[in-house]
Amino acid sequence: METLGKKRKGSEMLPSCRRSFSPITVVWPHLSLEDYSRQKRKCKEDEVLKVAVAFVTRVVKGIAIAPPCGSASLEPPNRGLKRKIGCIEAATQFGRKKKIEQDYDLGATIGSGKFGSVVLCRSKVNGEEFACKTLRKGEDLVHQEVEIMQHLSGHPGIVTLKAVYEDLKSFFLVMELCSGGRLLDQMAKERRYSEYHAANILKELVLVIKYCHDMRVVHRDIKPENILLTATGQMKLADFGLAVRMSNGQSLTGVVGSPAYVAPEVLTGHYSEKVDIWSAGVLLHALLVSVLPFHGDTLDSVFEAIKNADLDFENGAWRSISQPARDLVARMLTRDVSVRLTADEVLGHPWILFHTEATLGMASLETKMGNHEKPASPQLTVSPGVVSERSKMIPNGFLNDDSFLFLSSNSSSTRSEVQDSALVDALTVAISRVAISEPKRTRLCGPSGPIQQECSSNIKVNNNNNNLCTAF
Ligand SMILES: Nc1ncnc2c1ncn2[C@@H]1O[C@H](COP(=O)(O)OP(=O)(O)OP(=O)(O)O)[C@@H](O)[C@H]1O
């Protein structure tokens, strides 16, 4: 077995064609479905309280009435970059007339993937370093990647495209250099993240996903391998190789993505931008408990788990995770797409607000349940106005349910601070519980029997822990 973190993108060994290629007996979860299909072919041929209350209100009234899923359609195949390059900025157009070597010194390979390799490159003008991704021409998705990167470039959470060059065989995408590695590598080191940390990572990611969706783009391959970090640790979403533009009236089709992160509806037919929320939910699960939610020994068993396995929040590491965190994971990993949260709704979820809202302070909290990160510094501070507003809305009885309170362990904090904290958290949880008791939701992906402790080949078995699959 091999840990996910040790695997560099593109460094994966593709399954040998000498083996008989059967998804039933052989699984390569680190390969995207695209890789999988390609390999199959190859082998044949070679993102407080008001908002929180508003959140519940929307849920009860039917958040579930999520906006109609975006209708999406793929660009007609075989349209060349020429038409698409029309929307690409001048800085990237002139590059077509020059060779990349005239402007940049190309250096060492820093990554590789399904469509080509990524090398370090240095501007001959000012010595600035960039990453240059070479994409071999010939595949429609390659053309789409260039166009979509240009379309999205400029957002702080997306790798900036600096210039595009091309020759007869390839496109050369000069991008900002993310020298901090991949989130996956950080996860391999960190293993489990505190709820505070996980919530902040998820918020950053979902803000970018929201931007993509607002720009009518579905990424379709959200996973920690595709989240890069800058030297200062800023997260940047990368790899738009499987991304598609959406237009009204049509749903997306095409089985693409990476097996462990793929949404169930991708496997069964038509789908929407909500597939990115599912994948982000898988990532949140991994951040919180260091295990992928859906796994198996074969590709078929992974897909079977994605389609049918229930989440188990009662056992293992989940026992130390707060109810609001579990609530969010369940709402993101809900198979009923109409009920699955949108990016906006994830960003408005009480758990995200609690850990990331400025009015609540940037405290990291220790839960009574024993979340492993202790508050580093400031206690939770809540402005009196906010508290009184919250007090009005507390449902009777919830404060007595101390099993869900986040209580400060810092004795220097005043009684009222602790009470305020408890108030906020109890309410947050209460809200979540009200919402999750909605019949339609409990049916979906609710906690039930334990996940089968089978491991994908990219998940390390922890033999000291009842064969729990420990990812990363
Ligand atoms: N801007 C960048 N800065 C630093 N490293 C990068 C950058 N872009 C890509 N890389 C490295 O190159 C690897 C492959 O890049 P990318 O994911 O864009 O390629 P890909 O061919 O689409 O890969 P995949 O086969 O996983 O879809 C990344 O995992 C990362 O390690």
Atom of ligand 1 nearest to the CA of 242: 27
Mean pLDDT of 322-328: 97
State residue 446's pLDDT score: 25
Would you call 202 helix, strand, or coil by DSSP? helix
Mean pLDDT of 123-128: 95
72's CB contacts (< 8 A; 6+ apart) are 216, 218, 244, 245, 246, 247, 250, 251, 252, 272, 273
Mean pLDDT of 443-465: 26
Please tell me the least confidently modeled range out of 190-194, 338-342, 344-348, 369-373.
Answer: 369-373
State residue 97's pLDDT score: 66
| Residues contacting ligand 1 via CB (< 6 Å) | 9-10, 32, 110-116, 118, 131, 133, 159, 175-178, 182, 225-226, 228, 238-239, 241
Alpha helix segments (H runs only) across 100-194 = 100-103, 140-152, 183-190
State residue 393's pLDDT score: 28
Q: Which residue has the higher pLDDT, 359 or 17?
A: 359
Q: How many CB atoms are closer than 10 A to CB 105?
A: 13
State residue 59's pLDDT score: 39
Q: What is the pLDDT of residues 38-55, one digit of tens each?
A: 554 444 444 445 544 455
| Cα 150 from Cα 95, distance rounded (Å) | 14
Statement: residue 218 has pLDDT above 80: yes
Q: Which residue has the higher pLDDT, 426 or 445?
A: 426
| Cα 164 from Cα 160, distance rounded (Å) | 12
State residue 143's pLDDT score: 81
Residue 101 Cα, ligand 1 centroid: separation in angstroms? Answer: 21
Please tell me the least confidently modeled range out of 37-41, 84-88, 166-170.
Answer: 84-88
Quick check: ipTM above 0.90? yes
329's CB contacts (< 8 A; 6+ apart) are 281, 284, 285, 288, 293, 311, 313
State residue 112's pLDDT score: 81
Give the pLDDT band (50/70/90) at residue 219. very high
Atom of ligand 1 nearest to the CA of 177: 3
Residue 110 Cα, ligand 1 centroid: separation in angstroms? Answer: 8
Q: Which two tokens stand for residue 430?
A: 């209460």
Element (H, E) at 304: helix 299-308
Q: Whose CA is nearest to atom 31 of ligand 1?
A: 111
Mean pLDDT of 59-81: 29
Residue 465 Cα, ligand 1 centroid: separation in angstroms? Answer: 34
Give the pLDDT band (50/70/90) at residue 115. low
Statement: residue 36 has pLDDT above 60: no
Burial zone of 426 (CB within 10 Å; 0-12 exposed, 13-18 middle, 19+ buried): buried
Query: Which contacts of 54-59 are long-range, i.e. CB under 8 A and separated by 24 or more positions?
Result: 54/348, 55/345, 55/348, 55/349, 55/350, 55/431, 55/435, 56/431, 56/434, 56/435, 58/345, 59/435, 59/438
138: left (phi over 0), alpha (psi -120 to 50) or beta: left
Pocket test for ligand 1, best of 6, 7, 8, 9 (most atoms within 8 A of CB): 9
Residue 113 Cα, ligand 1 centroid: separation in angstroms? Answer: 6
Q: Whose CA is nearest to atom 23 of ligand 1?
A: 113
State residue 106's pLDDT score: 95
State residue 84's pLDDT score: 34
Pair 329, 288: CB distance under 8 Å: yes
Q: Whose CA is nearest to atom 21 of ligand 1?
A: 113
344 is catalytic: no
Unique residue bearing structure tokens 């590789």: 112
Q: Whose CA is nearest to atom 4 of ligand 1?
A: 178
Q: Which residue has the higher pLDDT, 312 or 117?
A: 312
Element (H, E) at 299: helix 299-308
Mean pLDDT of 323-349: 97
Local structure of residue 228 (DSSP, 8 states)? E
Residue 159 Cα, ligand 1 centroid: separation in angstroms? Answer: 10
| Cα 53 from Cα 76, distance rounded (Å) | 43
| Cα 263 from Cα 332, distance rounded (Å) | 10
Top mean pLDDT of 165-169, 404-408, 460-464 is at 165-169
Top mean pLDDT of 81-95, 375-389, 452-466 is at 81-95
Q: What is the pLDDT of residues 251-271, one digit of tens each?
A: 888 888 889 999 999 998 899
Mean pLDDT of 429-457: 30
The catalytic residue among 221, 276, 327, 420 is 221
State residue 10's pLDDT score: 36
Unique residue bearing structure tokens 């209580």: 407
Q: Whose CA is nearest to atom 12 of ligand 1?
A: 111
Statement: residue 452 has pLDDT above 50: no
| Cα 191 from Cα 185, distance rounded (Å) | 10
Statement: residue 386 has pLDDT above 70: no
Q: What is the pLDDT of residues 273-319, one digit of tens each?
A: 999 999 999 999 999 999 999 999 999 999 999 999 999 999 999 99
Unique residue bearing structure tokens 């302070």: 361
* Residue-averaged pLDDT of the chain: 67
44 labeled binding residue: no
